[in-house]
Amino acid sequence: MIEATISDQEFGLFQRLIYKIAGISLSDAKKILLVGRLARRLAQYELSSFGDYYRMLATGNFPEEVQTMVDLLTTNETYFFREPKHFEFLRDEVIARRTSASAFRVWSAASSSGEEAYSIAMTLAEALPNSPWDIVGSDISTKVLAKAVSGHYSLARTEGIPPGYMRKYCLKGVRQHVGTFLIAPELRKKTSFYQVNLTHPVDADIGEFEVIFLRNVMIYFDPETKAKVVHNLLPRLRPGGYLIIGHSETLNGITDRVVNLRPTIYRKP
pLDDT for position 3 = 46
**Which residues are catalytic, by number?**
37, 139
Residue 76 has pLDDT above 80, yes or no: no
In a shared domain, residues 65 and 90: no
Nearest to 106 by CA among 257, 269, 223, 236: 236
User: Which of 46, 74, 102 is at the close of a domain?
Assistant: 74
In a shared domain, residues 65 and 32: yes
In a shared domain, residues 180 and 68: no
Residue 225 has pLDDT above 50, yes or no: yes
Residue 214 has pLDDT above 60, yes or no: yes
In a shared domain, residues 61 and 90: no
Q: Cβ atoms within 10 A of the Cβ of 135, count?
A: 26
Residue 154 has pLDDT above 70, yes or no: yes
- The better pLDDT of the pair 5, 143 is held by 143
pLDDT for position 4 = 65
pLDDT for position 5 = 84
Distances from the Cα of 10 to the Cαs of 31, 89, 162, 252, in angstroms? 10, 45, 46, 34
In a shared domain, residues 93 and 203: yes
**Percent with pLDDT over 70 in the chain:** 99
Residue 77 has pLDDT above 60, yes or no: yes
Supply the CATH number for residue 17's domain. Answer: 1.10.155.10
pLDDT for position 64 = 95
In a shared domain, residues 153 and 52: no
Q: Strand runs (DSSP E) across the chain, as ranges?
A: 104-108, 133-139, 152-154, 170-172, 180-183, 191-195, 209-214, 237-245, 259-262, 265-267
Q: Can you give the residue range of the structural domain that contains 12?
A: 8-74
- Over the stretch 11-37, which tens digit does the pLDDT of each residue have? 999 999 999 999 999 999 999 999 999
In a shared domain, residues 112 and 48: no
Supply the CATH number for residue 120's domain. Answer: 3.40.50.150
Helix, strand or coil for residue 195? strand
206 vs 236: CA distance, rounded Å: 8
Nearest to 211 by CA among 119, 149, 129, 141: 119
Distances from the Cα of 249 to the Cαs of 175, 218, 229, 265, in angstroms? 43, 7, 14, 10
Average pLDDT, the chain: 94
- Over the stretch 84-140, which tens digit does the pLDDT of each residue have? 999 999 999 999 999 888 999 999 999 999 999 999 999 999 999 999 999 999 999
pLDDT for position 72 = 92
In a shared domain, residues 149 and 194: yes
Overall number of domains in the chain: 2
